Structure 1
């Protein structure tokens, strides 16, 4: 796959330089590619578009520059992909198949399976799933036996119920059994790239069908370390929620025989952009070794006196009988695209094997928002 590194602004991945690279690729493949038409159409209105809007915009601009007959255009598209220099350039080129290839399922599926090597086709497969869920899933099940890890990953990633940045497919969200054969086929995949996708797919299911997921994973064999890794990755949301059945599947009891000797945060008052240090000491009160899953939950202050909780991983480890463990982690207090901070008191809880065992707090100073 081509480079997927990210510039300062994500949308700039598909900026003027990328358009030139795509245009050069088209021109080198075929004299029938209208370079000038592509650059004109792709450049118009580009500045105000987000990254995924740019993906669709570039695909439409390609339509202006390619032969009218889909099979001819597809041949050029497939020739362009190896010459691109960034995965999102390829994503935009593959989007042409999603927008203009719905009427030729067979050729489009062959092209998508080929093109996903250069930039994941996880977004391009979604319109086909909407148009004919059963037929597309059957094709994706075939992809699970591909020798190419990119194609196998596409089978899992493209059918995720809650794929980030992608259109929602209600059928997949409502009924996890539809894509279950794909997940079953990949549950011991030798590729970490594929296993991570399978775990993410299962974690999507956990948010809407936790009992179905737990029932399914209970039946999976645990004698293969690749399968065990997927199970752990799939259960991360349910483990953060302290679900006893999820904890049991990774060999952890609900609750632990420990005493919290220390749970503190420094500094107690912080400004936006600074860092707090969370420090904990746990002492075993058991005569047996214990496996501990330790998390912490921050109740972020919100406007109007409301709060929003988020659980973070601290450490998973074995605590020998009668021993102590010191845990420490640094947490940056800065805004992200998915999280905005507000001044005020932020409660923090220490969670051990699903149970809250201690609490403390820090404050974000109001003058840091001036």
Structure 2
């Protein structure tokens, strides 16, 4: 059985943190720290709750002088592997205790993000003083370290998963754009993914703005092209005609779905839905096609909600036929629970629905 993510924070890690702090700060009460961490509520705490609990315990036992505490935490960073989710406690300390110590906190966040990520910790600073913090992030967007450049984008995503929604940037994302402009040709895939995700966030509330950027940026640099394609994924799934056109997926009535069938029109929760179909083209020239399927899921209250899944992107020639055999799992997941009832599966070509079948989940 896979280890729960929250168990990254375990006795071995806490003991090592306590030992390393004691080595540089002799007044640190190692035993009290460990006792405070593993209280009677520890086992029930989620990952984020454990992280914040560790932060608070550190705040109670480190020096009351914030700058001193940051120096202590900074000095032990190299004793731990880099790029570890567990090390997010260090930027979290800045988030909790550093809002009134701007300069020291900026230096700390820049350092700590190179060992884990400060993407959550910067957000209260944005809320406190958006103009000042966005100026700092614009500066970070030209940093030599890819982790710091990524922070410039990831930290100001309007809808960062697990992070607080940045309501002002959700309403008006224009302060973000100069940061993304600096990163649009970045050599680091790590950074480019963040830029794409930021734009995808923006597209959910400001699709026309992202379409405008996509048209201006696309076709000028391979790295930028990758960003734009990934950034437009929500628009593409929604069948947005402008987005599809940018990437060469044209509206057509000359693409036909043939022999669309389900292996069974009844399945049980936990089984796979198996289906097959063929695509035939009557277009006079070759045409790019984006092939997707959508499932209208039955929800707990009996209503249905649609989810779209990409199959492939391809080019089809006149009078050619492409054949597909696919399966889709109806196993319950932490992110999706299945319910019995009549579902519908539909095929989409370049955003347009081209056929559907009903089936029963039992």
**1:26-70 Cα distance to aligned partner (Å, 9 max, x none):** 234432433223212222222222111222111111112211111
- Please, which of 131, 135, 150 is the counterpart of residue 132 of structure 2? 135
User: 1:18 and 2:13 equivalent?
Assistant: yes
TM-score (norm 2): 0.95
Confirm or deny: 8 A CA contact 2:218 2:228 kept in the other structure: no
**1:237-291 Cα distance to aligned partner (Å, 9 max, x none):** 0100000011112121134521101222333322222222232210111111111
Aligned equivalent of 2:42:
46
Confirm or deny: 8 A CA contact 1:41 1:64 kept in the other structure: no
TM-score (norm 1): 0.93
Q: Distance in 1 between matches of 2:118 and 2:275?
A: 41
User: 1:59 and 2:55 equivalent?
Assistant: yes
Q: CA deviation at 1:221?
A: 4.4
Q: Distance in 1 between matches of 2:75 and 2:327?
A: 48
Aligned equivalent of 2:260:
263
Change (3 A) 1:304 1:25: same
**1:71-103 Cα distance to aligned partner (Å, 9 max, x none):** 110011112222234722211222001100111
Q: Distance in 2 between matches of 1:160 and 1:59?
A: 24
Q: Distance in 2 between matches of 1:28 and 1:277?
A: 60
**1:101-122 Cα distance to aligned partner (Å, 9 max, x none):** 1111111111111111111111
Q: Distance in 1 between matches of 2:330 and 2:161?
A: 24
User: 1:342 and 2:321 equivalent?
Assistant: no
Aligned equivalent of 1:3:
none
Confirm or deny: 8 A CA contact 1:199 1:231 kept in the other structure: yes
Higher mean C-alpha deviation, range 75-84 or range 173-182: 75-84
Aligned equivalent of 1:175:
172
Q: Distance in 2 between matches of 1:110 and 1:207?
A: 33
Q: Distance in 1 between matches of 2:256 and 2:205?
A: 34
Q: Distance in 2 between matches of 1:21 and 1:120?
A: 20
User: 1:241 and 2:238 equivalent?
Assistant: yes
Question: Secondary structure of 1:304's partner?
Answer: coil
Aligned equivalent of 2:361:
364
CA RMSD, Structure 1 to Structure 2 (Å): 1.7
The alignment covers a number of residue pairs equal to 360
Q: CA deviation at 1:303?
A: 2.7
Q: Distance in 2 between matches of 1:182 and 1:321?
A: 44
